[in-house]
Copies of this chain bind each other. A is one copy, B any other.
Amino acid sequence: MAVYTNVSDEALAEFLTHYDLGKVVSFKGIAGGVENTNYLLQTEAGSYILTLYEKRVAEADLPFFIGLMDHLASRGFTCPLPIRNRAGEALGRLEGRPAAIISFLEGMEVSHPTADYCRLAGQTMARLHLTAQDFDIQRVNALAPAGWPPLVESAVGEADTVEAGMAELITSELAYAQQNWPTDIPSGVIHADMFKDNVFFLDGALSGVIDFYFACNDYLAYDLAVGINAWCFDDELQFDAERCAAMIAGYQEIRQLEPAEQDALPVLARGAALRFLLTRVNDWLNVPPGALVVPHDPKAFSARLRFFKSATPSTFGLSTSGTS
């Protein structure tokens, strides 16, 4: 939620000489994006988002992120389209940072999604999975279970200062996930961060998905597990079974979940809750001086995690398949 890198008018004008976007009409820093600096850029050609990639994003991952948006958008999936400069490049440098211009998506976040909105989000997630099937760059999910032990280690000493019992919770849940994580369900490119603020709606229709900077190769059903965490709890942190059923139904209208995926959903949802709990509790305990973002409350995810500990496929409106 910040502008980390200021862009001068001279540097912007020089950067834009490489593009066919005409002159600048307006340019404003956007208060969103924890990882990167984003500007709303209006030129004679239209509205765009200019992103400067900050230190938390590995430069080596940028061809994956930008290539994925390009792949999806050019196949009709509604996400930002990276704009290429006259040399055909979508990635440049500005104020010493890697930088890209992407198309502007209309729409806005829905604060309190109904089941209908969840169904649309589920459909769109499945479309993303299918459309990305032939995308040919790979990116390991750095926040899969293999990446969790260091996060548990760095937080466990102080976790109980955030919430009583949190140290025990993250330790035991890490062990549970390591022992129970599925091993042979369908994989592919997933968004991995399809929270409400990354999905825009316009007039009740889903207008687009943004922020692909956690996208990676992982289990497709894990994306749905993230989505259930993100969309299917109310403001009092109560699970909303109707929204969850709608999200899964929407997903399955586009891509049918295999029985093994349905069986894995409880452990995946539990693991997704742990993954967001771990990054949030680490961010909470390590707010750097001069941070420009308010850390998210980790307790929103310890509550989800405790809920999912007793979940079964029927929690998600699925019947146990008995095949795994």
CB atoms of B27 and A1 under 8 A apart: no
Q: In chain A, residues 18-42, which have Cβ atoms closer than 8 Å to a Cβ of chain B?
A: 23-32, 40, 42
Within the complex, what minimum Cβ distance (angstroms) separates A319 from chain B? 35
Within the complex, what minimum Cβ distance (angstroms) separates A98 from chain B? 19
Closest residue on chain B to residue A295 by CB atoms: B290
Q: A3-B1, A10-B112, A111-B10 are in contact. Are A32 and B32 (CB under 8 A)?
A: no
Is A294 engaged at the interface, CB distance under 8 Å to the other chain? yes
Closest residue on chain B to residue A3 by CB atoms: B31
| A112: B residues at CB distance < 8 A | 8, 10
Q: In chain A, residues 243-300, which have Cβ atoms closer than 8 Å to a Cβ of chain B?
A: 290, 292-294
Q: Which of A1, A9, A12, A109 has the most CB of B within 10 A?
A: A9
Closest residue on chain B to residue A293 by CB atoms: B292
Within the complex, what minimum Cβ distance (angstroms) separates A49 from chain B? 9
Within the complex, what minimum Cβ distance (angstroms) separates A22 from chain B? 11
Q: In chain A, residues 85-108, which have Cβ atoms closer than 8 Å to a Cβ of chain B?
A: 104-108
CB atoms of A108 and B9 under 8 A apart: yes
| A31: B residues at CB distance < 8 A | 1-3, 28-31
> How many Å lie between the Cα of A30 and that of B202 in the bound state?
20
Is A110 engaged at the interface, CB distance under 8 Å to the other chain? yes
Is A203 engaged at the interface, CB distance under 8 Å to the other chain? yes
| A1: B residues at CB distance < 8 A | 2-3, 29, 31, 292
Q: A3-B1, A10-B111, A294-B292 are in contact. Are A40 and B28 (CB under 8 A)?
A: yes
| A30: B residues at CB distance < 8 A | 28-31, 40
Number of copies: 2
Q: A31-B29, A31-B30 are in contact. Are A203 and B109 (CB under 8 A)?
A: no
Within the complex, what minimum Cβ distance (angstroms) separates A324 from chain B? 40
Which of B32, B104, B111, B290 touches A29 (beta carbons < 8 Å)?
B32
Closest residue on chain B to residue A289 by CB atoms: B287
Within the complex, what minimum Cβ distance (angstroms) separates A174 from chain B? 29
Q: A3-B31, A112-B8 are in contact. Are A25 and B202 (CB under 8 A)?
A: yes
CB atoms of A108 and B2 under 8 A apart: no
Which of B2, B25, B200 touches A106 (beta carbons < 8 Å)?
B25
Within the complex, what minimum Cβ distance (angstroms) separates A184 from chain B? 40
Closest residue on chain B to residue A111 by CB atoms: B8
| A106: B residues at CB distance < 8 A | 25-26, 42
List A residues at the B interface (Cβ < 8 Å).
1-3, 8-10, 12, 23-32, 40, 42, 104-112, 200-203, 290, 292-294
A-B contact pairs, 7 of them (CB 8 A): A1-B3, A2-B2, A9-B109, A9-B110, A12-B108, A28-B30, A29-B32
Q: Which 7 A-B pairs have the closest CB atoms?
A: A8-B111, A29-B31, A31-B31, A27-B108, A3-B31, A25-B106, A26-B106
